[in-house]
Amino acid sequence: MYASNPSCSLPQLCKALTFSSSCLQFHQPNSLFPSKPSKIIKTPVLITQNNEGVVKIQALIGSGFLPAIEEKPSKNIKTHVQNNGRVVKIEALKGSGFLSAIGNAIEEEEEYRKARAEVNRKGADLGGYSVEGLSVGGHETCVIVPELKSAFDIGRCPPKAVHQNFLFITHAHLDHIGGLPMYLATRGLYNLKPPTVFVPPCIKDDVEKLIDIHRVLGQVELNLELVALDIGETYEMRNDLVVRPFKTHHVIPSQGYVIYSVRKKLKKQYMHLNGKQIEKLKKSGVEITDTILSPDVAFTGDTTSDFFLDPRSADALRANVLITEATFLNEDFSVEHARERGHTHIFEIMAHAKWIRNKTLLLTHFSPRYHIEDIRQAVSKLQPKVSAKVIPLTEGFKSMHA
């Protein structure tokens, strides 16, 4: 039940609340809502009351309701709801921490929503690429490189991702794949051409089933080219761009991707020739060039730091831009804790710094427990040479001073 939904059918809910066109209003004074003015909630909160007057409150946070909280009518509980745009604060008097917990959670979600709304307008210039996106551990990851028409993972579906023709999925955790059906549906809505979606081969059949279920449920066409691309295989995205997956180390099957630019370079043995001689050779059918692949952008998705030590990561570790994760940032959680969960601790980035040859390192997937200041501080503690090339993706995180 959403607060803005005017089609309330629960009698016990309607007893406590009445709906206006865009919000919920409390009209019926009782021991829980005793103050004179009507209180307006413009955020999804479901409040029900049974015949004994026990009030049950559930706040919608993200994609689900918080566990129900029940409060008996009491003079100690005064529910104050602040009507301030979309921000709603529910406070409780001494003796009840439950209601303020809901209020805080709602405010946090509101901050998170605001930060997400900023994503469309932000983009960091990384080695000539205007990389943008959002990555909050466990919530959602989607990193977009518009110059390559590419998005990496799609935990939810930021509007900008819809316009990327290539989508690279690293693994099937929902914070990395949850937005796939919306991505396909929205592209269909805009009549955009079917995208090419890359997945690890071992999940291809299940991803197909998932899309089929959405086709049946929504009675919609969801068009795409689904490519199971294995480690060691190469896919030509354009005549000057190819992609290759590489192994990553997570708690479920996973892989990263390196996008390479393709250049032709005159073979060494013909370098001394002049233009006319080269032209003549070419016309005679001799292959006069070598094909050079330069790793441009690499994306790991979730992985332990074993990725840094794997010889198969060599190209990812020398790409112009490496986008990788650092879920944990300080002593509150150990390296072992990170490893057990299939993630990287920033201390391990420090330990493996010598393997990082990239010009730029975009760090992502920080745990949502951190503030922007925690992230900046952790990056500043890296070796100066590493720190200088690290850019943390902080969209979606709050400042502790906000």
Contact set with Zn ion (CB under 5 A): 173, 175, 302
What would the two tokens of residue 218 be? 């929504």
Nearer to Zn ion, 302 or 395 (CB): 302
Dihedral, CA atoms, 178, 184, 189, 191, nearest 10 degrees? 160
**CB of residue 169 vs Zn ion: minimum separation in angstroms?**
11
The single-letter code of the amino acid at 198 is F
**CB of residue 131 vs Zn ion: minimum separation in angstroms?**
18
Nearer to Zn ion, 49 or 303 (CB): 303
The DSSP H or E segment spanning 205 is helix 204-218
Nearer to Zn ion, 24 or 142 (CB): 142
**CB of residue 310 vs Zn ion: minimum separation in angstroms?**
18
Distances (CA, A) of 363 to 59, 174, 322, 349, 397: 32, 20, 8, 10, 13
User: Mind giving me the DSSP string for 101-120?
Assistant: HHHHHHHHHHHHHHHHHHGG
Alpha-helical (H) ranges within 249-297 are 275-283
> What are the residues whose beta carbons fall under 8 Å from the beta carbon of 246, sequence distance 6 or more?
231, 255, 256, 257, 258, 298, 310, 312, 313, 315, 316
Question: What does the alpha-carbon distance between residue 77 and residue 98 come to, in Å, rounded to a whole number?
Answer: 10
**CB of residue 247 vs Zn ion: minimum separation in angstroms?**
15
Nearer to Zn ion, 302 or 348 (CB): 302
Nearer to Zn ion, 71 or 302 (CB): 302
Nearer to Zn ion, 160 or 173 (CB): 173
**CB of residue 316 vs Zn ion: minimum separation in angstroms?**
18
Nearer to Zn ion, 296 or 302 (CB): 302
Spatial CA neighbour of 375 closest among 352, 388, 393: 393
Backbone torsion region of residue 234, taken as left when φ is above 0, otherwise alpha when ψ lies between -120 and 50, otherwise beta: beta
What would the two tokens of residue 389 be? 């090339």
**CB of residue 336 vs Zn ion: minimum separation in angstroms?**
18
> What are the residues whose beta carbons fall under 8 Å from the beta carbon of 108, sequence distance 6 or more?
398
Nearer to Zn ion, 48 or 254 (CB): 254
- Residue with tokens 């441009």, as numbered in its chain: 296
Q: CA triplet 351, 375, 251: central angle to 5 degrees?
A: 60
**CB of residue 175 vs Zn ion: minimum separation in angstroms?**
4
**CB of residue 152 vs Zn ion: minimum separation in angstroms?**
12
What would the two tokens of residue 161 be? 């991702």
The single-letter code of the amino acid at 109 is E
**CB of residue 174 vs Zn ion: minimum separation in angstroms?**
9
Helix%, strand%, coil% for the chain, nearest 5: 30, 30, 40
**CB of residue 307 vs Zn ion: minimum separation in angstroms?**
13
Nearer to Zn ion, 140 or 296 (CB): 140
| Count of helices and strands (H, E) across the chain | 11, 23
The single-letter code of the amino acid at 262 is V
User: Mind giving me the DSSP string for 17-37?
Assistant: EEE-SSSEEE-S--SSS-SSS
Nearer to Zn ion, 320 or 364 (CB): 364
